[in-house]
Amino acid sequence: MDRREALRLMGCGLAAGAALGALPSCANAAGYMSEARYYDKLAGLKVRCQLCPKQCVVGDRERGFCGVRENRGGKYYTLVYGQCAALNLDPIEKKPLFHFLPGSGAFSIAAAGCNFDCKDCQNWEISQARPEQITSATRMLPNDVAAGAKRYGAESIAYTYSEPVVFYEYMLDSAQAGHRVGVRSVMISNGYIRPDPMKALLPHLDAVKIDLKSISEKFYKDYCVGELAPVLETIKLVKRSGKWLELVYLVVPTLNDSDATVREMCQWVRANVGAEVPLHFSRFYPNYQLKKLPPTPYETMERCWKLAREAGMSFVYVGNVPDTPHVNTICPGCGKAVIKRSGYAILERNLRNGTCRFCARKIPGVWA
């Protein structure tokens, strides 16, 4: 029995409670349903989900792979609309987004479920749980999400922690509600979504961060229960849309950290979305089903940074490593720091209207 099935059977009430307080809560969070978008009705009361590349065929009273979308009598429903499994006010740098409103707050929400089952998942208690297991979920409908962001002074709503693709309807409606009150939206995602729903979503987003987990199809199959090609297509689609894009590569020892793999990934990024897309290398820590692997050595993180720079990437960062200088945004023109950081904190800004204060070179991003 795998972990996903064990969680389903346990019904053990895993939860990530709200961290902000004074918000409406719902003890029976899983009791709310809304009809899902992007599915086809099939014979025999079956449906085929068209939201993500898995395209699950789901029988009556059954759920798709994500565990949060259920067929009831030939209609497909999302079980997590308005149900926050996690709710926090985060620095935008935590997402991580370094070229999008640096120093601002992100009103961060998540719902249960994911369309991957990554063996190295850092948030598996939420992503691999069923809605009914999140017994302390916070009930927040889209207008509540927008109002909460305004109340706490956040400049954006971040759909994060688990996988926002599987709470697509909630994300889309919340993004629209946010825009109505002047709050932007950022999607923090694995990128595993079909083109049509992504195209419909993009006009309501302001930035997207995608985890590019490897450049290997085998890695995606063996360690994510997914596919590489749709993720690459989503990355290109976001870039073509003009929305702000940043990428994260979690460096897992012995699995995706070889020079050849990192170099190939960087070359693909540069060739397909450009050298100026920010690329974050994140340090792996043992978790979930990969507890026997060690944390990624500091030397490996430094090597990945150097390989990316040698491949021509302009903005390369290193995360989950204390006291690294590779959290600063360096101007490719003069080599000086236009943004100095310590962890998630902004120490110094040297930008003027999106250009370097020292040499006037344009620094791509969303700065105001």
| Per-residue confidence (pLDDT) for residue 135, from 0 to 100 | 87
Which of 252, 115, 256, 253 shows the shortest CA–CA distance to 189? 115
**Would you kindly state where each structural domain of the chain is located, as residue ranges?**
102-110+149-327
| Per-residue confidence (pLDDT) for residue 4, from 0 to 100 | 42
Question: CB neighbours of 270 closer than 8 A, spacing ≥ 6?
Answer: 311, 312, 313
The structure's pTM equals 0.92
| Per-residue confidence (pLDDT) for residue 195, from 0 to 100 | 98
Average pLDDT of each block of 10 consecutive residues along the chain (368 residues)?
A: 37 37 38 88 98 98 97 97 95 98 98 97 94 90 97 98 98 98 98 98 98 98 97 98 98 97 98 98 96 96 98 98 96 98 95 97 96
Q: Which amino acid is at 119?
A: K
HEC string of the chain equals CCHHHHHHHHCCCCCCCECCCCCCCCCCHHHCCEECCCEEECHHHCEEECCCCCCCEECCCCECCCCCEEEECCEEEECCCCEECEEEEEEHHHCCCCCECCCCEEEEEECCCCCCCCCCCCCHHHHCCCHHHCCCCEECCHHHHHHHHHHCCCCEEEECCCCHHHHHHHHHHHHHHHHHCCCEEEEEECCCCCHHHHHHHHHHCCEEEEECCCCCHHHHHHHHCCCCHHHHHHHHHHHHHCCEEEEEEEECCCCCCCHHHHHHHHHHHHHHHCCCCCEEEEECCCCCCCCCCCCCCHHHHHHHHHHHHHCCCCCEEEECCCCCCCCCEECCCCCCEEEEEECCEEEEECEECCEECCCCCECCCECC
| Per-residue confidence (pLDDT) for residue 13, from 0 to 100 | 30
CATH number of the domain located at residue range(s) 102-110+149-327 in this protein: 3.20.20.70
CA distance 328 to 344: 10
